[in-house]
Chain A
Amino acid sequence: MMSAYIDFIRIRFLMMLAYRVNYYSGIVIYAINIGAYYFLWQAVYGDKQELNGFTVAQMTTYIAVSWMARAFYFNNLDREIANEIRDGSVAIQLIRPYSYLAVKMMQGFGEGIFRLLLFMVPGMVIACLLFPVSLPTDPAVWGIYLVMLLFAFLINTQINMLTGLFAFFVENNEGMMRMKRVIVDLFSGVVVPIAFFPGWLSETMKWLPFQAITYLPSSFFTGRTPLSDAWGVLGLQIVWFAVLLVPIGMTWRAARMRLFVQGG
């Protein structure tokens, strides 16, 4: 069975590879985004060397790393799931002896590996050439960051699944999916680091899973969170991964009960 799941990763990866041209433009878009935020923050900082504990150099690295991490963990599983529910092809998935959501997760992972190798890595090289990004030199930081990145992917994908599954309950969850995208980008700290949020909001963020997607891993990678605190961050990610399994399981069970296969 495991080999079947690995096959789903492989097939999705190869499929993405076949459409790789679509992603070349994506690298440019991400470079422009990084550039825009870089110049914006330059203006915000002005003469100051530090704001909310971020030095200018740390901020630059934070922006580049966060956007490139997003290039890896981002996927459209919410839309895929919603479409399969809406056009009824989820029925085909249910006649197979596997877990639909696990297969979706594997397909997302296949896409993730593709994005990592053909999107994030070249994008990062370009960002380093264009902007004064300073990357850590300690291999331990790199290793731990890769694990954090994996959990960032898992947590983001879980949130996507939860959003996608809502298509079972509402006729059109398009609006919900758009809202989710904006919320994840804002609350995970891609657009603005959580340290810059007003007190009450950054306090609230500590109790939500979004910070585990970008803010905490990027803070660690830019050196704001010391190596000794890495286990705390990883622990938090693992806890959120486990906690999110509960609503997904519950939604799936409820959805099965009221599944209405569209179109006959």
Chain B
Amino acid sequence: MSELAIDVRDLRKQFKVQNNRAGLGGALRDLFKREYREVAAVKDITFQIPHGEICGYIGENGAGKSTTIKMLTGILVPTSGVLRVNGYVPYKEREKFVKEIGVVFGQRSQLWWDIGVIESFQLLRKVYRVPETDFRRRLDELVERLQLSELLSRPVRKLSLGQRMRCELVASLLHNPSILFLDEPTIGLDIIVKTEIREFLKEMNREHGTTILLTTHDLQDIEALCSRVIMLDDGRIIYDGGLEELKTRWSKGREIKFQFGAAVGLDRLRSMTDGLGVTWSMDNEMASSMWLPHSVNVSDALARVVGSSVDIRDIKINETNTDEIVREIYQSGSAEAKSAAAAALEPDSAAKAQEQSQAQEERKETARP
């Protein structure tokens, strides 16, 4: 087995999309000669994931997350680039390769709809050729851990989403895969099941050293599980690193909320912090918020206000949370933010980043796949 669980270099996937010409004339012309255009869903991405890591893979809808997962699991054949998972080239040695991975698609069931849960598991045991004793031991462990014992005899179609999702996890783990791919595993689940699944995944990773790559839109999944995040936008990786770094790099500052004992005017507050570069806003006449960029020390700013003998009842410091940061990154899509990120990743490639941001501008004209 190679050192890396997943090794991806310049991976690219293009789809041929049919151009439908407008109008009746266009439809007639389409009948005889179709026009196609190439749309790249994943554009030359490169990343490596070592064994035993839990890595989050995030990005907007249509950013190319699922396409990447489908290439990594051997479903799609890449257009170009190098791809090795567990030492295999997934699409070439598919049948051998998939025996060592587990996959859960949150939006598709891999259990057989018409038969009972336990029958599905038994069938998977035969498909993956798991010895009976290993299977029993693993099943018992998983069933106990995820509290499935009373669901086993039910047909899959009668399970609730949360129950089904737990069964899907068991199904993907019965053959003890060394890599687990999860494509939106917590989509549509309630908070209790989500927490349960997160705890379970963490334990799997700790006890069995399972490498996990998950895509999600729920950043709490990432916060709870991942030591590393890869962020994708429009088919390109725009961030690859720790979650904490992501926060510090992208969050622009903090907000401090003050609750006063008596009304304090904005002018008075502004004069207190004169020259610090903070901004004030009034929530109501007894409460105001101060926004301070990272360049300003919290203690400095607080000292000014506290030292000025106003009656302060309460102070609350709000760190921008991950949701907000990520939303901003998604929304901004702006050239500055992206080139800043690209420059931060590769310090000496500002020019390249500039080029990239221009390319992004152009791409906005064309529809996404």
Contacts and interface: CB of A to CB of B under 8 A. Distances in A.
Do these two chains really belong together in a complex?
Answer: yes
A95 B180 CA distance: 12
B106 to A, nearest CB: 10
Interface of B is mostly: mixed
Nearest to A2: B126
Interface stretch (A57-65, A174-182, A240-248, A253-261): A253-261
B103 A95 contact: yes
A169 to B, nearest CB: 11
Interface residues of A, number: 27
Interface in A84-100: 88-89, 91-92, 94-99
B127 interface: yes
A11 B66 CA distance: 31
Interface residues of B, number: 33
Contacts of B76: 259, 261
A264 B106 CA distance: 11
A67 B214 CA distance: 53
Contacts of A257: 77
Interface string B58-80: 00000000100010011111000
B74 A94 contact: yes
Interface in A1-40: 1, 3-4, 7-8, 11, 15, 18
Contact of B95 (A11, A91, A97, A260): A97
Interface in B75-121: 75-77, 91, 94-96, 98-99, 101, 103, 105, 107-110, 112, 114-115, 119
Contacts, number: 68
A11 B115 contact: yes
A99 B95 contact: yes
B114 A92 contact: no
B85 to A, nearest CB: 12
Contact of A261 (B75, B103, B122): B75
Contacts of A171: 18
A4 B75 CA distance: 21
Interface in B114-137: 114-115, 119, 122-123, 126-129
A259 B108 contact: no
Nearest to A4: B126
29 contacts: A1-B126, A4-B126, A7-B122, A7-B126, A11-B114, A15-B115, A88-B108, A89-B108, A91-B105, A91-B108, A92-B105, A94-B73, A94-B74, A94-B75, A94-B94, A95-B75, A95-B110, A96-B98, A97-B95, A97-B99, A97-B128, A171-B18, A259-B77, A261-B66, A261-B70, A261-B75, A261-B76, A263-B107, A264-B66
Interface of B: 15-16, 18, 66, 70, 73-77, 91, 94-96, 98-99, 101, 103, 105, 107-110, 112, 114-115, 119, 122-123, 126-129
Interface of A: 1, 3-4, 7-8, 11, 15, 18, 88-89, 91-92, 94-99, 171, 256-261, 263-264
